[in-house]
Amino acid sequence: MPSAFLAHAETARCGVFAKMVRMAQKKGPTKGSGGKHRNALRGHGPTPKAEDRVYHKAHKAKVAADKRRAADPRLAAKRRAARFSSGDTSDLVIGRNAVLEALRSNVPSKELYIAARIEHDDRTREIVKLAGAEGIHLLEADRIEMDHIAHSSNHQGIVLRTLPYEYASLQTLVDRADAKAKALSGASPEARNLAKPLFIALDGVTDPQNLGAVIRSAAAFGANGVILPERRSASVNAAAWKVSAGAAAHIPVAKVVNLTKAIQSMRERGYYAVGLDGGGTAEVGHTGFETDPLIVVLGSEGKGISRLVRETCDVIAGIPMSSMVESLNASVAAGIALSSVYSARLHATE
């Protein structure tokens, strides 16, 4: 075999071997391996559903169905109403008479909802006038929206949303009451007695209407404030505002974490605590503490004052009444007790 031919064959073998070496060193799949485009598919996840592919007819059908649902006036009304409503209705005053009374009582409010195409009468015209004078936002809603906002169909086309009540600090109220008594220390004996600090504390009163009536009595007899525990107690909401007949705007209310500790801290500042209970050892108005800085403590009609709060009081007093009645409503008892304290202070100098 000629040497030239052998040399050519050797060169060809070397070239093929070199090419195979280069192919072995090359990263990734190669032609003929079945994985030429495999890297491009990695990390993309499963195949999208037909309705999620913009080019698929299922996607077009889904878009059309969404448009039909969005155009449904009933669903649109529910979506609009959901922006203004919540599950809590404690800040709502519902109905023409109730809303009118709330506005007349100057209940702090932020929004007034009026049904579209409502048949106006003297009440609704006065409601709109009062709301406009107070700068309350007037919002018109259709029947479905009104039902959703009020969580009821019995709204008569009028719903008022009140502002959250701003509770005061007990420390601030006590400092203010002490400063008022000190400022009148040089006045007449009658004025000095009437200026003595007077607070009423409610233990376990959960009815907001009772709370509103207590606030009204506190305002009538010159109390410096009302004290509520944070737990197991009514809050100053729309119902309490309405029953207080506007007195909640003048009598501050404080919420405390622990009523027992709050009473103890006030006793350290010279206050006396008189608890009201049917089995009291003294008679309300005749405990001997009426002309001192005083806290009148009331419990619920059913359970009364709790054991710890009862033990914190200086004396337990009862209200004399007929044996035909076992107990009084908390707001009625508060009115009698505050009236008795006021009368005792008024006549203490005689």
Are 179 and 132 in a shared domain?
Answer: no
Are 266 and 298 in a shared domain?
Answer: yes
Domain contains 298? yes
d(CA 203, CA 298): 6
For 104-160, write each residue's pLDDT tens digit.
Answer: 877 888 889 998 888 888 999 999 999 999 899 898 888 888 888 888 888 888 999
Listed residues 92, 127, 162: the one ending a domain? 162
Report the DSSP beta bridge partners of residue 254: 168, 227
Are 158 and 178 in a shared domain?
Answer: no
Q: DSSP strand E in the chain: where?
A: 92-94, 109-115, 137-141, 158-162, 198-203, 225-229, 253-256, 272-276, 282-283, 294-299, 315-318
Per DSSP, the three-state class of 240 is: helix
Q: Which domain holds residue 325?
A: 170-347
Contact yes or no for 229/194 (Cβ under 8 A): no
Domain contains 89? yes
Listed residues 133, 162, 191: the one ending a domain? 162
For 72-105, write each residue's pLDDT tens digit.
Answer: 665 655 555 555 555 566 788 888 888 888 888 7
Listed residues 135, 162, 189: the one ending a domain? 162
Are 145 and 189 in a shared domain?
Answer: no
* Residue 234: CATH number of its domain: 3.40.1280.10
Domain contains 319? yes
For 248-273, write each residue's pLDDT tens digit.
Answer: 778 899 999 999 999 999 999 999 99
Per DSSP, the three-state class of 252 is: coil
What's the pTM value of the predicted model, to 2 decimals?
0.66
